[in-house]
Amino acid sequence: MNTDDLIQTLSRDVPRVSHRVLARRLAIGMVGGGIITMILVTAILGIRPDLRVAMHGFSFWMKWTYTLSLGVGAIFAVSRLARPTPVSLRWLWLLAVPVLLLAGIGIGELVDTPSRDWLAMWLGGSWKVCPWLVLTLAMPIFVGLLWSFRRMAPTRLRAAGAAAGLAAGAWAATIYCLHCPEVSAIFVLTWYSLGIVLAAAVGALIGPKLMRW
């Protein structure tokens, strides 16, 4: 096809584009995936029966603050990487803040607990499944974000994949909190983070294949 004909064909289809199109697409992808994750948690894992009581406690909000702050930071990175123009991601170091805060709380816990109970506190009752559940629950949200990227133009595909994986992992962990009864900071710091990091790693691994355009 010659270039003039191509231009004519392309110019036949010029729909209006909203000013907030990126935010809208990311929101649809996230919420769409999040609903699937939510259904999986409620239908298969079940909401923890003491949720109402737990929501008045410290550890529930500690977990939520941790996963939510990672999720918000990651979504911000995703929105940067969705456009082709080069951006600085140096501010991503800010994501170390929630990790360090949680580590600080964890150290406090260890100090207050006799050392013979440390292992039980660290492993909780679900350390073997927690990272894998977070990783699995992240997948619907990751797929949602892939959909959001279809009209976008990421040029750093590995970084974009990793950021999408991180966001999916952090939001999946946030939803998983509704099921998971674990209370200790070092449990969350280790096993939640492991699940979230696994999701980011999967994203980095398959991002370049799935996000090419």
Partner 1 sequence: MQASEEQLKAWMLAGLDGDAAGHACLLRTLVPMLRGFYRRRLRGAEDDVEDLVQETLISVHTKRESYDRDRPFTAWLYAIARYRLIDHYRRRKVVVPIEDVEAILVAEGFEEATSARMDVDTLLSTLSPKQARAIRHTHIDGLSVSEAAARAGIGESDVKVSVHRGLKTLAARLRGEDRR
Residues that bind partner 1 (CB under 8 A): 1, 3-4, 6-8, 10-12, 14-17, 19, 21-22, 25, 82-86, 151-153, 155, 212-213
User: Which residue, 83 or 128, has its beta carbon nearer to partner 1?
Assistant: 83
Angle between helical axes of 58-81 and 96-112 (0-180°, round to 10):
160
User: Which residue, 178 or 211, has its beta carbon nearer to partner 1?
Assistant: 211
Side chain identity, residue 50: D
DSSP sequence for 4-61: HHHHHHHTT------TTHHHHHHHHHHHHHHHHHHHHIIIII---TTHHHHTTSHHHH
Structural tokens at position 70: 């990672």
Instruction: Report, in Å, the least distance between residue 10 CB and partner 1.
Output: 4
- C-alpha span between 138 and 199 (Å, rounded): 7
Structural tokens at position 147: 């959909």
Residue whose entry in the numeric block shows the structure tokens 């790693």: 201
User: Which residue, 148 or 193, has its beta carbon nearer to partner 1?
Assistant: 148
Instruction: Report, in Å, the least distance between residue 57 CB and partner 1.
Output: 42
User: Which residue, 12 or 56, has its beta carbon nearer to partner 1?
Assistant: 12
Instruction: Report, in Å, the least distance between residue 84 CB and partner 1.
Output: 4
Residue whose entry in the numeric block shows the structure tokens 């816990």: 109
Instruction: Report, in Å, the least distance between residue 147 CB and partner 1.
Output: 13
- C-alpha span between 37 and 42 (Å, rounded): 9
Instruction: Report, in Å, the least distance between residue 62 CB and partner 1.
Output: 36
User: Which residue, 22 or 101, has its beta carbon nearer to partner 1?
Assistant: 22
